[in-house]
Amino acid sequence: MTDHRRRALVVGAGYLAGRVGAELSALGHAVTLSSRQPPSTAQARQLDWRPVDARDRRSVHALLDAARPDAVVVAHGPSDITWCEANPGQAAAAHLGGARHLAEALDGRRALLISTDNVFDGHRTSYGEHDPTGPANAYGRAKLAAEETLLAGRDALVLRVSLVYGWDRAGLRPNFFSACAQQLGAGRPVAVPDDHWNSPYWSTTSPPGPPPCWTPRTPEWCTWAARGG
């Protein structure tokens, strides 16, 4: 029987990719996640998966040839800011390199890049679409370069989200919230920095519409310590 569902390819198979993939699947789309290793979160493991290394041009082209998506969501790592700062070349290879290979292979198909508020300088509590960018770290520079590459094509959309959090029931990929819950539930104290500010964003919140480059305005920023309290 012919499958008439629209095909969505998600590059990445981690926390965000799993959430986006599950939402798209619930909307009736045929979803394929992709990454170097099979997914580890319970949500992502329920979806179709194909291997890809975004840094490798041939691997990206082969993925698009095999998956034949109608649209692509770009949500792969690395997402660890400290790691990216220590490995700026590798961060750029994954984000900018991946965006270049995808831009080449898209062939007119729409792409959504999950980007970050790290493309801004971090001196203010909130930013909008028209504020100037000025990344203060290697992760932000790599993501901004990826944005520019994909937006140079006709059909790209960039979503600049801040720190996304949610409940990973199986705990396969603990985030700040689930790690706090697990530690406190076991009666253990949690050490949390109070000099790192962020604007947390609940992963089930839906964006209001389809602008070309959207920066969700999170309520206010707070420290990890305030969020944990």
Ligand X SMILES: NC(=O)c1ccc[n+]([C@@H]2O[C@H](COP(=O)([O-])OP(=O)(O)OC[C@H]3O[C@@H](n4cnc5c(N)ncnc54)[C@H](OP(=O)(O)O)[C@@H]3O)[C@@H](O)[C@H]2O)c1
Chain positions contacting ligand X, by CB under 6 A: 12-17, 35-37, 52-55, 75-79, 94, 114, 116, 143, 161, 163-164, 173
C-alpha to C-alpha distance for 21 and 27, rounded to whole angstroms:
10
Nearest alpha-carbon partner for 185 in 196, 171, 195, 199: 171
**Shortest Cβ 2–ligand X spacing (Å):** 30
Nearer to ligand X, 30 or 146 (CB): 146
**Shortest Cβ 14–ligand X spacing (Å):** 2
**Shortest Cβ 26–ligand X spacing (Å):** 18
**Shortest Cβ 151–ligand X spacing (Å):** 16
Nearer to ligand X, 5 or 196 (CB): 196
Task: Measure the CA angle with vertex 151, ends 12 and 70; round to 5°.
Answer: 55
Nearer to ligand X, 5 or 82 (CB): 82
**Shortest Cβ 147–ligand X spacing (Å):** 10
Nearer to ligand X, 30 or 60 (CB): 60
**Shortest Cβ 150–ligand X spacing (Å):** 13
Nearer to ligand X, 2 or 206 (CB): 206
The pair of structure tokens assigned to 112 is 């959504």
Contact (Cβ atoms closer than 8 angstroms) between residue 138 and residue 132: no
Contact (Cβ atoms closer than 8 angstroms) between residue 76 and residue 98: yes
Burial string for 71-93 (b: 16+ CB within 10 Å, else e) reads bbbbbbbbbebeebeeeeebbbb
Token pair 């692509």: residue: 72
For 77, which DSSP code? S
Residue of this chain nearest to ligand X (CB atom):
14
What is the residue-wise DSSP string for 146-193? Answer: HHHHHHTSSSEEEEEE--EE---TT-SS--HHHHHHHHHHTT------
Nearer to ligand X, 29 or 173 (CB): 173
